[in-house]
Chains A and B, each alone.
Chain A
Amino acid sequence: MRMTQLILVLASAIALAGCPKRSTTVPEGAGASAGNQGAATAGAGSGGAQTGEQLTAEQAALRELERLGMIIYFDYDRAEIKPEYVSVVAAHARFLNGNASRKVRLEGHADERGSREYNIGLGERRAQAVRRALLLQGVTEAQITTVSYGEERPAAAGNDEAAYSRNRRVQIGYGQ
């Protein structure tokens, strides 16, 4: 992340020296989506204050969550968590209950059919369904953030049900 920040600062400095004229290149921040970050960054940012054993335990727990699933899939125009994902959500709830300082980011997505802003609504509804399930299982509000990308960040390209079903999803991500 430090590298990213350094590059951003440099890029901003270049841009500011050059000054606004019509077009904007948006700062890219932490560009990777929650699903991509997953366990890769887990624990690494927790700092040196903790012991190696604790890190390993948390890391192991995250690995197990990754194995169980970091993505919840949904049916067309639906936001109910399907039975096969109930245990996955429960596992994430247990992890968050046991690691009260950890925060989770829920990214809701929709397939590409229909209007874009309405699909933002569908993605939000899915993210909220997972959020509510976590809250009901004891996770605190402060631990959860949600975002909806609607159809703007598909996981799969394509115009068929195979792609659509992979895109109707909530990605669960653990940052620092």
Chain B
Amino acid sequence: MSSMKVKAKEKDGIVEVKALIKHPMETGQRKDQKTGKPIPAHFVQQITVEQGGQTRVSADWSGGVSKNPLLFVKFKGGAKGDMVKVAWTDNQGGSDSAEAEIK
């Protein structure tokens, strides 16, 4: 059901979070090759990475980020066993989230 795979790893006090998001990331500049009509912009706009009740890192994206994008960020303050949640919203009102345990 989730569009995302999330992994979180702690080493030397730094938590690395990697998320792979399945999303078309359309810029709105492309045209449908059959109909010639523009394909509407459809891209992840905002992402949050949460742990311990805090947003550790957030990101704002445009359609200039690649299709099925990767997110790789880091933060301090999490420990092995804690849960990390990655959540995104897109420009068409879509959203999704996934959690992973810090290993």
Interaction A to B = no
Residues in B lying within 8 Å of A, measured CB to CB: none
